[in-house]
C-alpha cells in the first residue's frame, strides 16, 4: 500500500467526467487500498479517484459506520433535505454549508464487480453524493452560490500560500 498525492483545485482532472471502471482485478484492489490509506492519512471520510489524479469512476469512503468501495457509482434516489458543513480534501478542507438531500441510495459495483445498493442518511448520504459528484467532475463548491464559492476558493488559496 502507498499514500498517493492528493490532487487539488483547480486541477483539470477534478472537472472531468470519470471513465467507467471495467477491470475488477488485483490492480483495482491495490488502488482501492491505496485510496483508503491516503484518505485516512489526510483524515478524510471519502476519497474519489480524480482526487489522486485518476480519471476514473471510483471512490472509497468510511463515514458514520459505512465503509465501502464504489466503482461506477450512481445516486439512484434521494429524499428530503439537509443543510450542513461540507469540505473537500482537494479544496484544503475549507468548509461551507451545502444543501443536499437528507437520504440517498447509492448503486455501485464493489471491488469484485458485484453490483450493490446501499441507503444512507445524514452525513453518510452527504458523502455518497459528494464522492459520486467527484466521479462526474463536480466539486462541492459547484453547489454554492457564486459569491460563497469565490470565498471558499479565496480562503483555500490563501491557506495554501502559508504552507
Which residues are annotated as catalytic? 131
- Least distance in angstroms from the C-beta of 47 to Zn ion: 8
Residue 88 near Zn ion by CB under 5 A? yes
Q: Which is nearer to Zn ion, 68 or 88 (CB)?
A: 88
Options 9-17, 59-67, 76-84, 87-95: segment touching Zn ion (CB under 5 A) = 87-95
Pair type for strands 66-79 and 58-63: antiparallel
Residue 124 near Zn ion by CB under 5 A? no
Task: Report the residue closest to Zn ion, judged by CB.
Answer: 88
- Least distance in angstroms from the C-beta of 120 to Zn ion: 16
Return the half-sphere exposure (C-beta side, CA atoms, 13 A cut-off) of residue 132: 18
Rg from Cα positions in the chain: 15
Query: Measured between alpha carbons, how far is residue 126 from residues 74, 76, 132 in Å?
Result: 13, 14, 10
Amino acid at each position: 500500500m502507498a499514500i498517493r498525492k492528493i490532487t487539488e483545485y483547480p486541477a483539470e482532472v477534478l472537472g472531468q467526467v470519470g471513465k467507467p471502471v471495467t477491470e475488477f482485478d488485483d490492480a483495482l484492489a491495490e488502488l482501492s487500498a491505496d485510496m483508503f490509506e491516503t484518505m485516512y492519512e489526510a483524515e478524510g471520510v471519502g476519497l474519489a479517484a480524480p482526487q489522486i489524479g485518476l480519471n476514473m469512476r471510483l471512490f472509497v469512503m468510511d463515514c458514520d459506520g459505512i465503509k465501502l468501495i464504489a466503482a461506477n457509482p450512481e445516486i439512484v434516489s434521494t429524499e428530503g433535505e439537509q443543510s450542513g458543513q461540507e469540505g473537500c480534501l482537494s479544496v484544503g478542507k475549507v468548509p461551507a454549508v451545502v444543501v443536499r438531500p437528507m437520504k440517498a441510495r447509492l448503486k455501485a459495483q464493489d471491488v469484485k464487480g458485484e453490483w450493490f445498493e446501499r441507503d444512507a442518511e445524514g452525513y453518510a448520504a452527504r458523502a455518497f453524493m459528494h464522492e459520486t459528484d467527484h466521479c462526474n467532475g463536480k466539486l462541492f463548491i459547484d453547489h454554492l452560490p457564486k459569491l460563497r464559492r469565490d470565498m471558499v476558493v479565496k480562503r483555500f488559496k490563501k491557506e495554501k500560500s502559508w504552507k
